């Protein structure tokens, strides 16, 4: 059971992605032309539109329930112009036995790798699966020390995060969340309380879901990526193509294998 298995029924309601993100990855997959691999594909928010645009894509995730929802979504879409294959595997240890022209790791999925060992293991797997001329795009939150310091001081208390119609009936879901920041481990431990209520606001069901992530600074990302043998082609601060700058809240790393690197296969 992974952390995301419990999230699966609520994921699409609560996590709707970043502005321009899905379109950016779909366009890149079309431009690259060859096979695409999405790491942490979840319920298919990005890999399904890729396959709908004619791309041959493999979606990898270690949550069986997220993949189950992805399969249900694929079924609803019907026949795809491209091809989507789903694989249940861990992004730290996967071995698909072939290479891809484009590898995407959208929506801060890298932040779920909580230690430098896990992060390096994943980046080494990507190295082995990336074509010599291929592109790897990885997005993480750009954590500013001042933002972390401010957030870390907040008392651990649930705050209102949203209210949504339940996708399965006439009830509503009321979402509160809280977060704790471990400044030594650079780890955010979030609690998300989901309450299902009827038209009269009577509580029908309550669940608390956890989400654990690590944050990385731009300098740490740069060292980690160089250490794992990647060449940085560009760092963007948004999916509209603006370069990363001091005001950016996202880092979008566009990476390649070094030209002189021997093949790892």
* Choice between 116 and 171, CB closer to ligand SAM: 116
# binding residues, ligand SAM (CB under 6 A): 20
Nearer to ligand SAM, 40 or 134 (CB): 40
Q: Enter the tokens of residue 176.
A: 């509160």
Closest CA to 57 of 18, 83, 25: 83
- Given candidates 56, 58, 63, 139, which one binds ligand SAM under the rule CB under 6 A? 63
Of positions 57, 91, 225, 251, contacts ligand SAM by CB under 6 A:
91
Which one, 56 or 62, has the nearer CB to ligand SAM?
Answer: 62
Helix axes 64-77, 3-14, angle to 10 degrees: 40
CA atoms within 13 A on the CB side of 237: 9
| Choice from 48, 84, 109, 252 touching ligand SAM (CB under 6 A) | 109
Q: Which stretch binds ligand SAM (CB under 6 A): 72-80, 108-116, 127-135, 185-193?
A: 108-116
SS3 235: strand
Contact between 17 and ligand SAM by CB under 6 A: the answer reads yes
248 binds ligand SAM (CB under 6 A): no
Q: Does 2 bind ligand SAM (CB under 6 A)?
A: yes
3-class state of residue 101 by DSSP? strand
DSSP assigned state of 66: H
Q: Which of 90, 196, 220, 222 binds ligand SAM (CB under 6 A)?
A: 90
Distance (Å, whole) CA 78 – CA 58:
17
Q: Provide, rounded to whole angstroms, the least separation between the CB of residue 104 and ligand SAM.
A: 8
Which residue from 32, 89, 27, 22 is spatially nearest to 58, judged by alpha carbons? 89
Angle at the Cα of 25 from the Cα atoms of 19 and 29, rounded to 5 degrees:
165
Instruction: State yes or no: residue 99 binds ligand SAM (CB under 6 A).
Output: no
**Bridge partners of 191?**
178, 210
Q: Which stretch binds ligand SAM (CB under 6 A): 50-58, 87-95, 159-167, 198-206?
A: 87-95
* Residue 23-62 contact track with ligand SAM, rule CB under 6 A, x = bound: -----------------xxx--xx--------------xx
Q: What are phi and psi of 214, to 5 degrees?
A: -115, 155
Q: Could you tell me if 138 and 110 are in contact, meaning their C-beta atoms sit under 8 angstroms apart?
A: yes
Applying CB under 6 A, the residues found at the interface with ligand SAM are 2, 4, 17, 40-42, 45-46, 61-63, 66, 90-92, 106-109, 112
């Amino acid at each position: 059971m992974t952390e995301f298995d419990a999230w699966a029924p609520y994921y699409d309601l609560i996590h709707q992605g970043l502005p321009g993100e899905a379109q950016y990855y779909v366009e890149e997959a079309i431009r690259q032309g060859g096979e695409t691999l999405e790491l942490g594909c979840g319920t298919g928010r990005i890999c399904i539109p890729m396959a709908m645009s004619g791309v041959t894509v493999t979606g990898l995730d270690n949550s069986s329930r997220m993949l189950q929802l992805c399969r249900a979504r694929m079924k609803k879409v019907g026949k795809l112009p491209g091809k989507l294959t789903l694989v249940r595997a861990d992004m730290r240890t996967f071995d698909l036995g072939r290479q891809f022209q484009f590898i995407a790791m959208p929506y801060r999925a890298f932040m779920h790798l909580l230690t430098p060992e896990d992060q390096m293991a994943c980046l080494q797997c990507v190295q082995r699966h990336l074509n010599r001329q291929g592109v790897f795009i990885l997005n993480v939150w750009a954590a500013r020390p001042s933002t972390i310091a401010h957030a870390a001081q907040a008392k651990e208390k649930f705050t209102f995060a949203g209210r949504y119609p339940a996708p399965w009936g006439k009830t509503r879901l009321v979402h509160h969340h809280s977060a704790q920041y471990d400044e030594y481990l650079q780890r955010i431990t979030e609690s998300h309380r989901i309450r299902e209520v009827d038209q009269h606001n009577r509580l029908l069901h309550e669940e608390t879901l956890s989400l654990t992530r690590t944050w990385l600074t731009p300098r740490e990302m740069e060292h980690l990526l160089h250490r794992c043998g990647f060449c940085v082609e560009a760092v963007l601060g948004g999916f509209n193509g603006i370069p990363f700058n001091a005001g950016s809240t996202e880092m979008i790393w566009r990476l390649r294998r070094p030209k002189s690197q021997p093949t790892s296969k």
